[in-house]
Structures are given as structure tokens and as C-alpha cells.
């Protein structure tokens, strides 16, 4: 039986790795998710016959496990089917938090367990791994809950500034150090004291929340990726504690991929991970930002449609405003009209556009936009100078020229899309508000930019009508 289980775990690992590999390209991403899903089903099924479980679990326990799987699976299925694409980032955040919470719960069971016979009790090194997994998992859980609240724009989490105070990092460090110290005491002394372990978990949860609360919405893509890496690491550590190779492999894959994605996202913002975690946008500049000169120049949708209809090359820059308005279907409908008129159309995606990595790609895929039309910042930036029209839909900081030329700006040094190099720029925006960085966008005041105000879906519908009327 042992050889069969290990063989299945090896197959599970292969499916996880192949699935992750296929997720690296849009055309194979869906099948990659399915392959990884099959691996997870295999790992779950074989766990029911694992010797460590069959030796200690009763029929009643099996029934409870099956009931828990059925309830959790039903909730996840319903939630995934019903969630709006705009809410996908917060769903990912909370599901990721559940993974960290599960790892912490496994650790809690192991730490509170009275093994009785010292000969069969886990060694200090195993308990240290259990404590480390508990700490990281609890931090991931509470931090992800906070990320969910911020992304969902719940009232309590809306004002980032109210969670910032003098000496905050010292307080956080004290909480973290206290949690680590208590965890070491539990591991080294082999203590099963309920109050001591409970205090350890409370401190770990508090640290996760305190770490995430002051972080602004613009940094959420990086934070979600980081907590994802934390969850993977916690699962891997608890896999070592339980001697479960499937958990070890899955945790290492999730942890390593989450870490790489976190570093890539931070690099896309030209910031370090520590800067994201321990600073805020307002603290990044070297002084007062340069005053934006010029004026906002409104344009009616009918006039924008004429300019768009006679363009030979159009580049679309989607942002979170597109997601909020659910305008991706209308945008693709407009693009197909332009393509029929002989125009070249491309979509330019900034790595941190939206609320999570790949957010814009997911929305465009939902609308049926072929992958060949979607380009990233490195592929498209040189082409803006040859574009007749660049259409910005709900994006702000990722197209702000201040990142390129204003050293005092909070976003200085962040790679941006070179939208301002286009011959004409149209910006669809609901109002005159600023982006996450809290600064005016110099692009909106440029001579070649026109503002088309209104809900993105309604504005694009008007553009479509205007283009059709031109024949």
C-alpha cells in the first residue's frame, strides 16, 4: 500500500508541475488548471487510505471529512460560478487565506496533541517546523482577510491612512518577535499548554493583520502574491510535520511560484518587496510633486467615434475602470468594427493594471479577445509613437508620465505605458478623481489628450453607434 500511495503522490506532483507549466501561456492555461485539479483530486482521494489516517481515524471521522469536503466544495463551486469578474481578486485573496488558515489549523492540532509516549512523540525539529508553519499560515490568513476587505471596499478598510501611526513598524516588530519567542518556547519545551498556544496564534494573526492594514490598494497585486507564497510555504512545512509528500510538493510549488510572481510584480513597479510592505505611496517621493500645467479637454463620444473610425492603428489600454463598468465586451465589439474598417488594433497590458496579476488578461479573455491582440508593456511600448489613437479605459497611474520625468513624484521610476507618445489620446473616465497614488495624471492635461467622461460601458456603446453611423 505504501508504494502505491507514494506512486500516486509522484503522479500528483507531475500533474502539479505540468499544470503550472501550462498555466504560463494563455492558450494552455485552462487545461493547466484542469491538470492540476486532477492532481489535487488524486492527492485527496489517496489520503483517505494513507496509513497515518487509517490507523487513527474512525468511521465517524471519515463521515465528518466527507461532509466537510461536500460543504466546502459546494460553497466554492457556487462562489466561483457566481462571482463577478471585478470581484475575482478578492475571491482569490480570501481563498488563498483559507489555505493559510488550514495550514495553521493543522499545526494547532499537532501542537495541542498529547502524544503520551515520549518515544513516539515528535522531536523538537519537527515541532519547530510545525510552529513555523503555524506562524506563516496564520499571517497569511489574517493578512488575506484584510486584503479581501480592502479589495471589496468594505467600509472599515477604506481609509488606509487611519491604520498608519508613528512607530508602527516597531509595534509590528514587537508583535512578530513575541510570536516567534512563544513559538520557540512551545517547540523546545514540547508544551501542549492551551493558553500559551492560543496566545501564540493570536499574536501571529495580529501581525498578519497589522502588516496588511496600512498597505494601499495600489500595492494589493504584490500583497496577494506574497500571501500566496506564504500559504505555500506554510503548507510545505506542515507536510514535513505530517510526513505527507503531496503537501510538501504542492506547498513548495505554490510557495516558489508565488515568490517569483511577487518579485516580478514588485519589479514591474520598480520597487522592492520590503518597500511595498513597510512604506506607502505617499512616502515614496523625494519632495513635493511637480505642479501639473494645462487643462482637461473634454470630448463628446460622437467626436471620439469619428477620430477612432478613421484611425489606422489603435492601442487600447484597459484598467480597473473597465472592470468596474464591465465594459470589456463592448470594447471588443468596438475593436471588431475597427478591424473590419482595416485598422490595426492591439491591447496594451501593464503588469499591475487592475487588482491582481493578470486581472486585465482574464477580463479580455472572458470577452473573447484573441490572445494575439493582447501585448505586455515590453512588446507594445515602442509602438505607441506609431498609433493614431491610444484609448485609455479606467487606467491612471500606469500611464502617468510623471513616473518617467518627475523625480519628486511618488511613482517616479515605475515603468509605465508610453501612451503620451501616441498621436491622439482618448481617456474614458467616470470623473476627475486621482489614481491610487493620490496624484494628478499629467497625461490627462497633455495637448494630445481628450477626456471622454462617463461610465465606460455607456461611452463605448456610444462610440460603437458613432462608428456604425459613419458606414
Average pLDDT, integer, range 437-447? 81
**Active-site choice (372, 376, 378, 397):** 397
Q: Which residues contact 199 (CB under 8 A, 6 or more apart)?
A: 182
What pLDDT was estimated at residue 139?
A: 96
pLDDT higher than 70, residue 345: yes
What pLDDT was estimated at residue 13?
A: 87
For 238-295, write each residue's pLDDT tens digit: 999 988 888 898 899 999 988 988 888 787 777 777 777 766 544 444 444 556 667 8
Query: For residue 121, what pLDDT band results from cuts at 50, 70 and 90?
Result: low
Q: Report the C-alpha gap between 195 and 178 in whole angstroms.
A: 15
Q: Report the C-alpha gap between 309 and 299 in whole angstroms.
A: 15
pLDDT higher than 90, residue 418: yes
What pLDDT was estimated at residue 287?
A: 42
What pLDDT was estimated at residue 290?
A: 53
What pLDDT was estimated at residue 366?
A: 84
Query: For residue 460, what pLDDT band results from cuts at 50, 70 and 90?
Result: very high
Overall pTM surpassing 0.75 (yes/no) = yes
> Regarding predicted confidence, which is higher, 51 or 398?
398
Average pLDDT, integer, range 359-379? 89
Write down the mean pLDDT value for the chain: 86
Domain boundaries, the chain: 83-282, 301-469
For the record, the C-alpha cell of 205 comes out as 494573526
pLDDT higher than 50, residue 232: yes
Average pLDDT, integer, range 199-222? 86
pLDDT higher than 70, residue 161: no
Per CATH, the homologous superfamily of domain 301-469 is TPP-binding domain (3.40.50.1220)
What pLDDT was estimated at residue 283?
A: 42
What pLDDT was estimated at residue 328?
A: 93
> Regarding predicted confidence, which is higher, 397 or 146?
146
> Regarding predicted confidence, which is higher, 112 or 292?
112
What pLDDT was estimated at residue 5?
A: 81
Query: For residue 331, what pLDDT band results from cuts at 50, 70 and 90?
Result: very high
Active site residue 397: yes
- Is beta strand 389-393 parallel, antiparallel or unpaired with respect to 425-429? parallel
What pLDDT was estimated at residue 281?
A: 42
> Regarding predicted confidence, which is higher, 407 or 103?
103
What pLDDT was estimated at residue 74?
A: 93
What pLDDT was estimated at residue 15?
A: 92
Query: For residue 217, what pLDDT band results from cuts at 50, 70 and 90?
Result: low
pLDDT higher than 90, residue 409: no
Amino acid at each position: 500500500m505504501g508504494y502505491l500511495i507514494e506512486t500516486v503522490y509522484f503522479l500528483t506532483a507531475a500533474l502539479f508541475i505540468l499544470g503550472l507549466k501550462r498555466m504560463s501561456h494563455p492558450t494552455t492555461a485552462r487545461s493547466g488548471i484542469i491538470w492540476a485539479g486532477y492532481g489535487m483530486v488524486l492527492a485527496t482521494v489517496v489520503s483517505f487510505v494513507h496509513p497515518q489516517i487509517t490507523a487513527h481515524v474512525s468511521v465517524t471521522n471519515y463521515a465528518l471529512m466527507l461532509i466537510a469536503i461536500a460543504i466546502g466544495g459546494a460553497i466554492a463551486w457556487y462562489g466561483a460560478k457566481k462571482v463577478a469578474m471585478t470581484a475575482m481578486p478578492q475571491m482569490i485573496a480570501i481563498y488563498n487565506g483559507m489555505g493559510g488558515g488550514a495550514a495553521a489549523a493543522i499545526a494547532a492540532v499537532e501542537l495541542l496533541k498529547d502524544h503520551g509516549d515520549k518515544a513516539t512523540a515528535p522531536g523538537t525539529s519537527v515541532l519547530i517546523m510545525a510552529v513555523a508553519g503555524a506562524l506563516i499560515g496564520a499571517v497569511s490568513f489574517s493578512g488575506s482577510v484584510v486584503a479581501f476587505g480592502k479589495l471589496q471596499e468594505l467600509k472599515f478598510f477604506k481609509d488606509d491612512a487611519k491604520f498608519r501611526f508613528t512607530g508602527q513598524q516597531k509595534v509590528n516588530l514587537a508583535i512578530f518577535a513575541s510570536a516567534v519567542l512563544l513559538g520557540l518556547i512551545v517547540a523546545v519545551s514540547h508544551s501542549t499548554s492551551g493558553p500559551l498556544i492560543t496566545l501564540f496564534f493570536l499574536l501571529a494573526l495580529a501581525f498578519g493583520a497589522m502588516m496588511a492594514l496600512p498597505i494601499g490598494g495600489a500595492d494589493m497585486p504584490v500583497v496577494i502574491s506574497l500571501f500566496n507564497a506564504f500559504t505555500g510555504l506554510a503548507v510545505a512545512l506542515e507536510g514535513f510535520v505530517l510526513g505527507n509528500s503531496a503537501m510538501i510538493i504542492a506547498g513548495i510549488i505554490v510557495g516558489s511560484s508565488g515568490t517569483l510572481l511577487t518579485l516580478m510584480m514588485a519589479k514591474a513597479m520598480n520597487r522592492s518587496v520590503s518597500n511595498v510592505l513597510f512604506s506607502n505611496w505617499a512616502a515614496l517621493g523625494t519632495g513635493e510633486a511637480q505642479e501639473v500645467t494645462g487643462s482637461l479637454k473634454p470630448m463628446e463620444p460622437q467626436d471620439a467615434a469619428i477620430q477612432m473610425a478613421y484611425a489606422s492603428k489603435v492601442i487600447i489600454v484597459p484598467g480597473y475602470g473597465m472592470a468596474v463598468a464591465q465594459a470589456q465586451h463592448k470594447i471588443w465589439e468596438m475593436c471588431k468594427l475597427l478591424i473590419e474598417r482595416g485598422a490595426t488594433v492591439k491591447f496594451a497590458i501593464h503588469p499591475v493594471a487592475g487588482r491582481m496579476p493578470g486581472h486585465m488578461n482574464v477580463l479580455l479573455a472572458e470577452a473573447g479577445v484573441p490572445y494575439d491582440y493582447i501585448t505586455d508593456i515590453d512588446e507594445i511600448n515602442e509602438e505607441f509613437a506609431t498609433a493614431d489613437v491610444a484609448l485609455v479605459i479606467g487606467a491612471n497611474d500606469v500611464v502617468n508620465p510623471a513616473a518617467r520625468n518627475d523625480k519628486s513624484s511618488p511613482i517616479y521610476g515605475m515603468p509605465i505605458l508610453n501612451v503620451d507618445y501616441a498621436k491622439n489620446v482618448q481617456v474614458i473616465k467616470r470623473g476627475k478623481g486621482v489614481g491610487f497614488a493620490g496624484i494628478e495624471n499629467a497625461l490627462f492635461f497633455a495637448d494630445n489628450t481628450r477626456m471622454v467622461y462617463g461610465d465606460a460601458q455607456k461611452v463605448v456603446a456610444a462610440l460603437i453607434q458613432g462608428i456604425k453611423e459613419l458606414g
